[in-house]
Amino acid sequence: MTRTRTLLWLSASITLACYLLAHTRQHRQASSSSSGSSSRSATDQYRSRGIIEHAGEAIISTDAQQRILQATPSAAAMFATSVQAMQGAPLQRYLPREQRHTSEQLQSRYFGATGIRLRLKGRRAGDYLVTGMRATGQLFPLEGSISTQTENGQNIYTIILRDITERTQVQEQLEQSYSQLRALSATLRTIREEERKHIARELHDDLGQLLATLRVDLALLQRQHHSGPAGRKLVAGMDALLMSAITSLRRIASNLRPRALDEGGLYFALESLCHDFINRYNIACQLDANEEELILDDVYSTAIFRIAQEALTNISRHAEASTVLLSLHRSAQHLAIEIQDDGRGIAEQDMDRATAFGLLGMRERVHALHGEIAILSDGGTRISIRLPLPAPTSPTTP
């Protein structure tokens, strides 16, 4: 694709050079009064017009007042008109002034003596986005490149135009598909979180209670002295197995949906997450946060917890770190989150790998909350997140 675009640009540049050469020759031929060169000028003019007429690009030449001096047949076909109709007409007829993009924040350039700015936003630094209007009144997107030359002290502007209707439609379809995929991803995350919450509650309330009841019954059985040493040993083994099952059940339920998140809030959930991380991986993990600043709704609390959980999982797998700092601080309208380790860092090419699902998941969760995320490698890995907080709801008066 890049090679094709380069070849197209080289072709357009060659066409523009031929056009400028032909236009210059015509000007020189018009000002020449030598009778000995008349036949040669006529031949050159015929050849130059042939180059222009067979140019594959849409080229328009205007003066400083934006009146069209010359146009190629390709330009006439693009605007559904004729070369004769375009010559002498104002450029405004084909590039309406009100349709030309303006922006004070983007780099711009004055076009002619009118003071109209055209927005630089093409594939190359010299490309401009404009909107064209065909003779039928139909508007369509264009990408143009402008060059300037001086003839007899007057500026002559030459524009190469490219119809980008198809490319714009493809971009819009891609953007729409991307937005739909993101919306679908957010919906699936919400559904998965609800399913996790439901399964964790069922495990804790039903299976957990059942195992606890069995252990109580087993403890009552142990108090009876009717069984011999072999029976007591069997009962003790059963009690150990039951205790192991209860521990596994709690761990599985906590991985699905930590009860601390529902019962104690985000701060206690993160505190429990750091504690489990230390016990499991023997990596120091410090939580720097204020409990009162982390009183958030379920959507924010769940998303932030999952981001921290995914970050710690990546650290345990790849970072080779010995210390992790999890910092959360709240301002009036934003929550700043930083997760930093002292490991080996992350390579820049690994940040955008298609298989880096952990980083992708964090980015998508941050995007769903309209936040910003930056992943840096500076003596370890530092993840900086800035989330806008929802406006507090005012209490309703009866």
Q: Which pLDDT value is given to residue 15?
A: 53
For residue 106, the domain's CATH number is 3.30.450.20
Q: Using the 3D structure, point to which of 163, 180, 207 is the last residue of a domain.
A: 163
User: 176 in a domain, yes or no?
Assistant: no
Report the pLDDT value the prediction gives residue 233, as an integer from 0 to 100: 77
From the centroid of its chain, how far is CA 276?
Answer: 34
Query: Which of 120, 146, 163 is the last residue in one of the domains?
Result: 163
Domain of 117 in residue numbering reads as: 2-163
Q: Are residues 10 and 156 in the same domain?
A: yes
The total of other beta-carbon atoms located within 10 Å of residue 254's CB is 19
Do 7 and 129 sit in the same domain of this protein?
yes
Q: Could you tell me which of 89, 88, 117 has the C-alpha nearest to residue 103?
A: 117
Tell me, yes or no, whether 133 and 22 share the same domain.
Answer: yes
pLDDT of amino acid 96 = 85
Residue 124: half-sphere exposure toward Cβ, Cα within 13 Å: 14
CATH (domain of 333): 3.30.565.10
229-256 and 209-223 helices, crossing angle to 10°: 160
d(CA 318, CA 365) in angstroms, rounded, equals 21
pLDDT in the model for residue 395 = 46
Going from the first residue of the chain to its last (398 residues), give the mean pLDDT of each consecutive group of 10, the final group possibly shorter: 49 52 49 47 50 69 87 89 91 79 40 41 53 90 83 83 86 84 79 77 76 79 68 77 81 78 89 92 94 90 91 91 94 92 85 77 89 89 92 51
pLDDT at position 216: 81
Pair 21, 157 in one domain: yes
Exposure class string for 29-49: b at 16+ Cβ within 10 A, else e: beeeeeeeeeeebeebeeebe
Of 72, 66, 76, 77, which Cα lies nearest the Cα of 48?
72
- Total number of residues shown for the chain: 398
CB 318 within 8 A of CB 355: no
* CA separation for the pair 245, 212 (Å, rounded): 10
Residue 312 lies in a domain: yes
Q: What is the pLDDT of residue 351?
A: 76
Residue 288 CA: distances (Å) to CA of 205, 221, 270, 285, 379: 33, 48, 10, 10, 20
CA distances from 341 to 232, 318, 319, 344 (A): 50, 11, 8, 9
Longest Cα separation, the chain? 136
In a shared domain, residues 24 and 158: yes
Q: For the whole model, what pTM was predicted? A: 0.56
Is 94 contained in some domain?
yes
Domain boundary among the residues 163, 182, 202 is at 163
> Does residue 345 belong to any structural domain of this protein?
yes
- What is the distance between the alpha carbons of residues 180 and 87, in angstroms, rounded to a whole number? 46
Same domain, 157 and 304: no
